[in-house]
Chain A
Amino acid sequence: MEQIVNMIGRETLKTIVGLIGVLVFVVFNALILTWAERKVAGHMQRRIGPKEVGPYGLIQPIADAIKLLGKEILTPREVDRPLYYLAPILIFVPVLVSFIVIPFDASLQVKDINVGILVILAFSSLSVFSILMAGWGSNNKYALIGAIRSVAQNIAYEIPLLLALLPVIMMANSFSLKTIVEAQKGLWFVVYQPLAFCIYFISAVAETNRTPFDLPEAESELVAGYHTEYSGMRFALFFLAEYTNIFIVSAIAVTFFLGGYQGPFLPGIIWFLLKSYLLVFVIIWLRWTYPRVRFDQLLNVSWKALIPLAFINLLITGGLLKL
């Protein structure tokens, strides 16, 4: 064992093990979230939700996954093949990269990069591209409309998202996620920055294309939006990426505003997952409570309310920090 470690190098081995751990976590997280989504949806609507497969329907997602694996992978005749094939693979790159820098515990992090949050934000723009590739490559009007909406939405909500994170970066004096968590030893940043937290959370829900901001895949008007023409495992990859994205935005919110892995009594990782899944629950809760907004409303909220508020918040924070 010791020989193998010495041969590959400790740092490389740590990264490889970390990446495998990330992959396992991504699949596990998606399984839990599909179950949670159906269960929460059920209870919101005074139903029970899945209950037949396993205790409390816990094995239901595994049955669903096997069903998806068994389905035929259809490729429509008129699709733009390279783009169509590449899109579901590419949507996974930002998802995996984001996990590398998220600190699950004081020592549980694949790699602490000193520009950590920038890595996540930079690579998250790639997911827009895979949506565009999927929408364009499908050669289907619903898919294309979904993709166009997704881009407009992403441009509008990326700005308040960045501006809401900036005050925290200024207060912690670092881009490293670990340093930001350590800076919240005394008081969580949500106490200093309640407005930034609200702006971040709204933008995050919009960035993940979830209801009430799910216009890119609005079922009632666009069939399924950008993944209309995808079936079987290719569809499952989009699905997996969406649920992982929900976890990632919640994890960033926890890291930036809710003290990350810090908390009394319990070990750090438990606190981290507890806080993250609480936010994930809120996102699911929102989906089953609010109707979809209109597209002009969606853009107006971002450009006319969130962005000016975020700028004011940033100015005030900067001013107070210098006093």
Chain B
Amino acid sequence: MSIGELIFLLTIIVTMGGALMAVLSGSVVYALMGLVTAMFGVAGLYVYLDSPFLAMMQILIYVGAVSVLIAFAVMLIGPLYRRPKEWTTAGKFGAALGVALVTLFMFVRFVTETFPRVGKPSFAMTTKEIGRLFFDNLVLPFELISLLIVVAILGAIMLALFSRGNK
């Protein structure tokens, strides 16, 4: 096994371990730490795939922004927080069904798809290529995502104002 493969394996283990911790941990804070670990693992995979820009963006956005916001919300609950109520049978069944469907879909996709082999992507061009794609071929999805985020922000503001008025 070469060093590259060993690092790849370690990244996989870190990602999976973090993800499992996020799902299985009883405490919210540990679940969050697991999530952060998993995000780092995914960033490691991007580095392995020669996309350092994407890896840094992964850390900057998912660890630096998303997880910090989640952490902020958790902190406001306070240290008195205890584990939530047990799942209902219907909830368990629904969750299992959802996971099964997603797994099935991915499996079918994985079996039917033939993955094209690409050459080694160029290291220096990544940011330029990503920028060009965003404002050229993918400009419509990009703008649609922006619109979605604006709607989400407006919704959050509405919720905050609404609950304040009710008090």
Contacts and interface: CB of A to CB of B under 8 A. Distances in A.
Contacts of A119: 56
A258 B76 CA distance: 41
B88 to A, nearest CB: 30
Contacts of B56: 115, 118-119, 121-122
Contact of A118 (B53, B63, B69, B79): B53
A113 interface: yes
A155 B53 CA distance: 22
Nearest to B56: A118
Contacts of B67: 129
A115 B127 contact: yes
A115 B75 contact: no
Interface string A296-307: 000000000000
Interface string A133-172: 1011001000010011001101100100000000000000
Contacts of A123: 59
Contacts of B63: 122, 125-126, 129
Interface secondary structure of A, over-half rule: helix
Contacts of A121: 56, 60, 64
Contacts of B53: 115, 118, 175
Q: Which of A113, A118, A124, A147 has the most CB of B within 10 A?
A: A118
B31 interface: no
B130 to A, nearest CB: 11
Nearest to B79: A139
Main secondary structure on chain B at its contact with chain A? helix
A144 B79 contact: yes
Contacts of B124: 114
Nearest to B124: A114
A128 interface: yes
Contacts, number: 71
A115 B52 contact: yes
A83 interface: yes
A144 B71 contact: no
A65 B75 CA distance: 33
B72 A122 contact: no
Interface in B64-83: 64-65, 67-69, 71-72, 75-76, 78-79
B14 interface: no
Given A118-B53, A125-B64, A147-B75, A155 B59 contact: no
B56 to A, nearest CB: 4
Interface residues of A, number: 29
B72 A114 contact: no
Of the candidates B29, B56, B127, the one having the most CB atoms from chain A within 10 angstroms of its own CB is B56
Contact of B127 (A113, A132, A147, A175): A175
Interface in A99-131: 113-115, 118-119, 121-126, 128-129
A128 B32 CA distance: 13
Q: Which has the most chain B C-beta neighbours within 10 Å: A119, A125, A133?
A: A125
B69 A155 contact: yes
A140 to B, nearest CB: 9
Given A83-B29, A125-B64, A118 B75 contact: no
B32 to A, nearest CB: 9
A136 B60 contact: no
Contact of B60 (A80, A83, A125, A151): A125
Given A119-B56, A125-B60, A155 B29 contact: no
B52 A125 contact: no
Given A151-B71, A155-B72, A118 B78 contact: no
B36 interface: yes
A139 B79 CA distance: 7
A114 B69 contact: no
Given A129-B63, A133-B33, A155-B65, 16 more contacts: A115-B53, A115-B56, A118-B53, A121-B56, A122-B57, A122-B63, A125-B60, A125-B65, A125-B68, A129-B36, A132-B75, A144-B75, A144-B78, A144-B79, A148-B76, A155-B72
11 contacts: A83-B33, A114-B123, A121-B64, A122-B56, A122-B60, A125-B68, A132-B71, A136-B79, A148-B75, A155-B68, A155-B69
